[in-house]
Amino acid sequence: MMMSNLWQMSKKNVLLLLLLVLILPTASGTAGQAEELAALLQDVDRAAAEMRGMSCAFTQEKELAMFDRPVVFRGKLDLVRPDRLRWEFASPINSVLIFKGDSGLRCDGDSPPVRFDLQRDPVMRMVARQLWLWLGGDHHRLAEEYHLTLAGAATLLIEPKDPGVAEFVTSLTIDFDPDTHQPRQVEIREAGGDLTRLVFHDCQPDPDPDDALFSRCGDGE
């Protein structure tokens, strides 16, 4: 009887021991990841605070179920925090999207430019909001709306908390430059498996761009 009880107790202890063995490395791994995530975010915040703006060339690759093949666009991003952004495609077509404060401008090819007010245009407001969350460099705001996970040494996986946002973006993977801590590559996974990959290169920090860059699409406008 006593032996049986001892066996029962030791069986519990063995199980407990096994559980501890299984859990401890994970727990220590989670704590470690959290620290690494915090360190990365701190670096990103610091880089963003030090750098008011940037200008980068980029390549965008879209794999959408609606497209018959992956589509590659090339262009340039100009960004001045906190509220000026110019997203320009140079090839295969010329197209510009500008956000400046609460207003914006969109030009497609030879079509006349379309001005919009973010307060009145809910779609563009949502677009601007997401872009600034991803590129604004304020991880506190980002963390309010997204789950943040470390997916690599300098790679951040972010997933929306709001099911409404999750309807069109399921996750973003942002790969930071280990030196400058500026985004180097962004992968946006959309509902239904669609993927958008942005690769930034030739980045210039604090380029001090002409204000006209955020007021006009081109020379004519």
Partner 1 sequence: MRCSAGAVTVSEPLAQPGAEPPLPTARPGSALLRWLVVLLIVLAGLFQALQLQINDDALDLLPGEAVRGDLSLLQRLGLVDRLFITLTVDPDYYPSANEARAALQQGVERAGGAMAASELLAEVVYRLPPDLVRKLPQALEPYLPVLLDGQDLAALAPKLDEAGLARIMADNFNLLNSPAGMVVKRQVQHDPLGLLPPVLQKLSRLQQEHDGAMVDGFFLSEDRLSALILADSNRSLTDSRGAAEVDALLREVMAANLPTGVDWGIIGSLPHTLANYQAVQRDLRLLLPIASGLLLTMLLVALRDSRVLLVLAIPFLAAPAAIAVMGLIHGRVSALALGFGIVLIGIAVDFAVHIYLALAREEGGPRALLRRLLRPVSLATLTTAGVFVVLLFSQVPSHGQMATLALTGILLAVLFSWLLLPTLIRPRRRPPATWFTPPVLSSWGSRLLVLCLWAGLLVGGLLSWPDLQYTGDLRVLDAPDARVLADEEHFRDTWGREGEQAFIVAAAADLAQARDYNDQVYRHLQQHHGSSFQSVAPLLPGPAVQRQRLADWQAFWAARGEDFPARFRQAAAQAGFAPGAFDSFLARLTAEPRLLDAEAILTGPLRPMVSMMLRRPEEQGKDHRPAEFLLLTTAELTDTDQLPELLAWADGQPGITVLANQKWRQQVERLLRHDLAVLTSTAALLLFLLTVIFFRRPRSVLAVLAPVLSALAAMILFSRLTGGELNMMHLLMGIMVIGLSVDYGIFVVCARGERRSATTLLAVSICAASSMISFGVLAFAQHPALHSLGITVLCGIGAAWPTALLVSPVLAGKVLTTGAAAVPTGEGQG
Nearer to partner 1, 4 or 91 (CB): 91
Q: How many CB atoms lie within 10 A of CB 178?
A: 11
At closest approach, how far in Å is the CB of 134 from partner 1?
A: 10
Classify 117 as helix, strand or coil: strand
Nearer to partner 1, 43 or 81 (CB): 81
At closest approach, how far in Å is the CB of 68 from partner 1?
A: 4
Please identify, among the stretches 10-18, 35-43, 163-171, 204-212, the one whose residues bind partner 1 according to the rule CB under 8 A.
Answer: 163-171
Q: Which of 51, 52, 95, 136 binds partner 1 (CB under 8 A)?
A: 95
At closest approach, how far in Å is the CB of 71 from partner 1?
A: 6
* Residue 211 touching partner 1 (CB under 8 A): no
Please answer whether residues 27 and 40 qualify as being in contact, where contact means their C-beta atoms are separated by less than 8 angstroms. no
Please answer whether residues 199 and 191 qualify as being in contact, where contact means their C-beta atoms are separated by less than 8 angstroms. no
Which residues share a beta bridge with 195? Answer: 63, 189
At closest approach, how far in Å is the CB of 104 from partner 1?
A: 10
* Residue 124 touching partner 1 (CB under 8 A): yes
CA–CA separation, 165 and 145 (whole Å): 9
* Residue 158 touching partner 1 (CB under 8 A): no
At closest approach, how far in Å is the CB of 120 from partner 1?
A: 5
At closest approach, how far in Å is the CB of 191 from partner 1?
A: 9
* Residue 108 touching partner 1 (CB under 8 A): yes
CA–CA separation, 131 and 119 (whole Å): 16
Residue 214 has what DSSP assignment? G
Closest CA to 107 of 79, 121, 122, 87: 87
CA angle 219, 116, 220 (to 5 degrees): 10
The secondary structure of 70-96 as a DSSP string is -EEEEEEEEEETTTEEEEEEEESS-EE
Q: Which of 52, 138, 190, 216 binds partner 1 (CB under 8 A)?
A: 190
The residue with tokens 């180097």 is 184
Residue ranges in contact with partner 1 by CB under 8 A: 60, 62, 64-69, 71, 73, 87, 89, 93, 95, 97, 106, 108-109, 111, 119-120, 122-124, 126-127, 130-131, 164, 167-169, 188, 190, 194, 196
